[in-house]
A and B are shown apart, each in its own frame.
Chain A
Amino acid sequence: MDSTKIKSVVCDEIEKNKDKLIGVAKEILENPEPGFKEFKTAKIVSREFSSLDMPHESGIAITGLKSHLDSGKPGQNIAVIGELDSLKVLGHPFEDKETTAAHACGHHCQIAMMLGVAVGLKASGVLEKLAGKVTFMAVPAEEYIEVEYRDNLRRRGEIEFLGGKPEFVRLGHFDDVDMAMMTHTSVPSNECKISFGGTNNGLVAKSIQFSGVASHAGGAPHMGVNALNAAMVAMSAIHAQRETYRDQDTIRIHPIITKGGVAVSSVPADVRMETYVRGASIDAFLSASEKVDRALRAGAMAVGGSVTITTLPGYLPIQSNESFLDLYKNNAAELVGQEKLGRLTHRTGSTDMGDLSQLMPVIHPYVEAASGNGHGIDYVIDDYDLAVVTGAKAMAMTVIDLLTDGASNAARIVSENDSPLTKSSYLSLLRSMTKEETFKE
């Protein structure tokens, strides 16, 4: 059986399971859970692995799961990844009313795609034609949100890093993985259906606490030290550095205030902020991070208060492997037509798939099945066939390209890939970005 035939058998199997797979995506859509809280979602994934008769490990990095299909023959191990977590977007049509959690970034489709690849390879019985292994991963917490909550998990030792993939790496779950892929949803650009390539911003995250002195805001404001004003000055100061952020560095700094005081009649003494500092390169976001720190210090200094800045490693910029992409591209063209393929440039969002891309060959294509604004209240999947079924098929076909012929393509790509980091240098880099400092000047 040649690889064309294998692909056709696998795609037929995925097609056969179409309704079930889309059903899983919609079930997750209806049960959105933010990162490291995806307990219901993890149960759904576990149930589906079991229904495929796939033994699996659960509770990795709190909610993550993994399973694998082994050809029994030596060869590379390819990870197919789906992300478990939702965002929080107040007012999204599929928002959880209690938590405001909502799948405004389409991760629910990723789980269904990942399961689609699994069902395609398992139920079709093609595994024996392949070499190597395929590892299926449902990974928590790609959206780097609820920083204070996650930082508390970190302080309690439940996690070390605040994203799912860095945790999976730290815990050794990528130690035996040679290559990784996943597919994200997006909004169509230029009437395309699938797009790929390009780069993403990396980031560090900051959890910030301005400390002042509470006092009666009417009776004795002069006895207080207003931490909210410190935050205001700091934000102004961050913006005042605007022109020093180079265009090509695509710096993004976008704080939120998570606590701005407790009683309007009391001078705010404890104000908390969270922010990302994103940039196209590690140097760029680290340099911008220093500017943010001095702006935060200036805010505290101006009011005579103090600021504690906890800087946490976020994600690294992504770089897709071109040979890996070539294989994917051909398969995608077969499914949606060459003219429906788009090539991406630089995207200013971030993903922890970027971290993996520094360690091994990865691809992170997009199925353009959504409408609305990513992370907005109107981001919904319009074309589930494309989002789930086509997405799964394209990845399954690429796995087949990688692992047929004694996994020769996979072996070639892995040997040719020049990874900037090893697991240990990666973990050292992340740990070097972690710092907590209090300034009172």
Chain B
Amino acid sequence: MDSKSLKSKCWEIIDNRADWLVNISKHILQNPEPGFHEFETAEFVSRKLDELGLPHEKGIALTGIKGTIDGGLPGPTIAIIGELDSLRVAGHAHANPETDAAHACGHHCQIGMMLGVTAAFKEIAKNSMIPGKLVFMALPAEEFIDVEFRYGLHQQGQIEFMSGKQEFLKLGAFDDVDLAVMAHTSKTEEGKFSIGGTSNGHVVKYVRFLGKASHAGGSPHEGVNALQASMVALNALNTQRETLKNEDTIRLHGIMTKGGVSVSSIPAEVKYEGRVRGGTTEAIADANLKMDRCLKAGALAIGCEVEIITLPGYLPIKNDPHMSDIFIDNAATLVGANNVIQKPVRHNSGGSTDMGDLSQIMPVIHPYTGVASGTGHGIDYLVHDYTQAVVNPAKALAGTIVDLLCREDSPAKKILSDFNQDYSIKSYVEMQRSRLTKEKYVPI
């Protein structure tokens, strides 16, 4: 069967499973779990893979899932990725009231897409010889949140890296993968499909200001107020504003996860989880230096200590241009060329994804499907058009995979030979390992 027929077959299979796929996504929406907590989500995905009769490995990086479908002929291996985890957004319409977990970033649709592509590939591989393999993956923890919890997992040795793709890479789960695809939801006004541009890289901060408790009424002068130190630090951080270049798209932000324990006692421990994002490694390093000196300045001002743990975050994403072109052709066939937006290469979304890490190692695409209203990561981020959110992207990705592997000109092979790799998996893991630093500043 030629690639066109294979693609039609894929689309037919996915269309036939449309309700099944949409219901899977909606079920996950109703049962949100943040990264490295996605036990029920993973179990649910596993059951659905069982329904498809697909063997798979579970519990990779705590909750991840991976399986392989062999096309029957030698050829490149392409991964289709769906992300398991939710965010935490208190007050989201579909938030779990106990945990605040909520799919305010649309990952629930990704699992539907992944299963759609997987179901289709399984069917065509049954009847045709495909030169290559499909690896299907449900990955934990793309949102880099719950830093203290994840650092705890790191210290216990349960994980080394604190995001799903980073940990999959370290565990060798990508060793047999040559190219990777996934699609993310975005806001409706960004077009039915969009692709291109880049994202910010980042480092993650886990910070503890350590002061001294004392009676806040009776003897505040005997305490050392860690909360005041953090206030000075955050004020200082804001004064760096003008030194951050627009083109570097720097974002310095964070949350305070502990700000004291009793209002009547001078806060002796304050915990801050922060993020330093930027468009380039150099820009992130520069902004990280500024973050550190502000944190230290807060401690110096009050005379307390500050412990700064810097964790390896994400790298900026590069969408492979040839893969992007193939995706755009497929998307245009599905929704019309005028509904597919190609973003300029230099366009930076400001956000970050561990798909960026993967993109420095192998050719990837990370397109968007515009289906949501509201603000990403906000309480009002809601997916409306589930056909465009799950079914169409599954078809576009499946079509892309078929083209990559089965087209006569063997695009996957050309892409791999043209690909300019920044890191091997080994050098990537070493580089990320070296980015984890721990410093305690004691002012003199």
Instruction: Encode B194-236 as 1/0 by CB contact (under 8 A) with A.
Output: 0000000000000000000000100011010100110111011
Q: Is the CB of A241 within 8 A of B228?
A: yes
19 chain-A/chain-B pairs, Cβ below 8 angstroms? A221-B242, A233-B236, A236-B231, A237-B301, A240-B229, A241-B228, A243-B216, A243-B221, A244-B220, A244-B225, A246-B221, A295-B301, A297-B301, A299-B236, A301-B293, A303-B236, A303-B240, A304-B290, A441-B300
* Chain A positions within 8 Å of B303 at CB level: 291, 294
- Closest-CB distance, B172 to chain A (whole angstroms): 41
* Chain B positions within 8 Å of A234 at CB level: 301
Is B296 in contact with chain A by the CB < 8 A criterion?
A: yes
* Chain A positions within 8 Å of B233 at CB level: 302
Q: Is the CB of B232 within 8 A of A243?
A: no
CA gap between A226 and B238 in the complex, in Å: 12
- Closest-CB distance, B108 to chain A (whole angstroms): 40
Is A120 in contact with chain B by the CB < 8 A criterion?
A: no
Q: Is the CB of B296 within 8 A of A236?
A: no
CA gap between A294 and B299 in the complex, in Å: 9
CA gap between A225 and B286 in the complex, in Å: 14
Q: Is the CB of B300 within 8 A of A301?
A: yes
Contact of B239 among A224, A246, A295, A302 (CB under 8 A): A302
Is B298 in contact with chain A by the CB < 8 A criterion?
A: yes
Is A217 in contact with chain B by the CB < 8 A criterion?
A: yes
Contact of B242 among A217, A236, A441 (CB under 8 A): A217
Is A200 in contact with chain B by the CB < 8 A criterion?
A: no
Residues of A281-333 whose CB lies within 8 A of B: 291, 294-295, 297-299, 301-304
* Minimum CB distance partner of A221 in chain B: B242
Q: Is the CB of A232 within 8 A of B239?
A: yes
* Minimum CB distance partner of A237 in chain B: B301
Is A185 in contact with chain B by the CB < 8 A criterion?
A: no
* Minimum CB distance partner of B232 in chain A: A237
Q: Is the CB of B235 within 8 A of A233?
A: yes
* Minimum CB distance partner of B248 in chain A: A222
Is A229 in contact with chain B by the CB < 8 A criterion?
A: yes
Q: Is the CB of A298 within 8 A of B239?
A: no
Given contacts A294-B443, A301-B300, contact A240 B242 (CB under 8 A): no
* Chain A positions within 8 Å of B443 at CB level: 294
CA gap between A224 and B297 in the complex, in Å: 19
Q: Is the CB of A297 within 8 A of B300?
A: yes
Is B243 in contact with chain A by the CB < 8 A criterion?
A: yes
The 7 closest A-B pairs by CB, nearest first: A237-B301, A302-B236, A298-B301, A302-B297, A229-B239, A221-B242, A298-B297
* Minimum CB distance partner of B222 in chain A: A244
Is A39 in contact with chain B by the CB < 8 A criterion?
A: no
Contact of A302 among B225, B245, B294 (CB under 8 A): B294
Q: Interface residue count for B (Cβ, 8 Å)?
A: 30
Q: Is the CB of A240 within 8 A of B239?
A: no
CA gap between A4 and B16 in the complex, in Å: 120
Contact of A226 among B242, B244, B294, B296 (CB under 8 A): B242
Q: Is the CB of B242 within 8 A of A301?
A: no
Q: Is the CB of A240 within 8 A of B297?
A: no
Q: Is the CB of B232 within 8 A of A233?
A: yes
CA gap between A224 and B239 in the complex, in Å: 12
CA gap between A301 and B293 in the complex, in Å: 6
* Chain A positions within 8 Å of B296 at CB level: 301, 441
* Chain A positions within 8 Å of B239 at CB level: 226, 229-230, 232-233, 302-303
- Closest-CB distance, A126 to chain B (whole angstroms): 54
Q: Is the CB of A304 within 8 A of B302?
A: no
* Chain B positions within 8 Å of A244 at CB level: 220-221, 223, 225
Q: Is the CB of B298 within 8 A of A298?
A: yes
- Closest-CB distance, A143 to chain B (whole angstroms): 30
CA gap between A237 and B298 in the complex, in Å: 8
CA gap between A441 and B239 in the complex, in Å: 17
Q: Is the CB of B232 within 8 A of A236?
A: yes
Q: Is the CB of B221 within 8 A of A304?
A: no
CA gap between A226 and B245 in the complex, in Å: 15
- Closest-CB distance, A43 to chain B (whole angstroms): 48
Q: Is the CB of A298 within 8 A of B300?
A: yes
CA gap between A304 and B232 in the complex, in Å: 15
* Chain B positions within 8 Å of A241 at CB level: 228, 301-302
Is A267 in contact with chain B by the CB < 8 A criterion?
A: yes
* Chain A positions within 8 Å of B220 at CB level: 243-244
Contact of A222 among B236, B243, B266, B300 (CB under 8 A): B243
Contact of A267 among B221, B235, B242, B302 (CB under 8 A): B242
* Chain A positions within 8 Å of B298 at CB level: 237, 298
* Chain B positions within 8 Å of A243 at CB level: 216, 220-221, 223, 225, 266
Q: Is the CB of A302 within 8 A of B223?
A: no
* Chain A positions within 8 Å of B243 at CB level: 221-222, 224-226
* Chain B positions within 8 Å of A229 at CB level: 239
- Closest-CB distance, A215 to chain B (whole angstroms): 10
Given contacts A243-B221, A298-B300, contact A304 B235 (CB under 8 A): no
* Minimum CB distance partner of A292 in chain B: B301
CA gap between A243 and B232 in the complex, in Å: 15
* Minimum CB distance partner of A217 in chain B: B242
* Chain B positions within 8 Å of A246 at CB level: 221
CA gap between A299 and B297 in the complex, in Å: 7
CA gap between A221 and B239 in the complex, in Å: 12
* Minimum CB distance partner of A246 in chain B: B221
* Minimum CB distance partner of B286 in chain A: A222
* Chain B positions within 8 Å of A233 at CB level: 232, 235-236, 239, 297
CA gap between A245 and B221 in the complex, in Å: 6
CA gap between A272 and B300 in the complex, in Å: 21
* Chain A positions within 8 Å of B221 at CB level: 243-246
Instruction: Encode A360-391 as 1/0 by CB contact (under 8 A) with B.
Output: 00000000000000000000000000000000
- Closest-CB distance, A23 to chain B (whole angstroms): 51
CA gap between A267 and B293 in the complex, in Å: 20
* Minimum CB distance partner of B228 in chain A: A240
CA gap between A234 and B301 in the complex, in Å: 8
Residues of B382-401 whose CB lies within 8 A of A: none
Q: Could you say which of A233, A241, A298 has the most chain B C-beta atoms within 10 Å of its C-beta?
A: A298
- Closest-CB distance, A403 to chain B (whole angstroms): 47
* Minimum CB distance partner of B243 in chain A: A222
* Chain A positions within 8 Å of B232 at CB level: 233, 236-237, 240, 295, 298
CA gap between A187 and B163 in the complex, in Å: 69
Instruction: Encode A81-108 as 1/0 by CB contact (under 8 A) with B.
Output: 0000000000000000000000000000
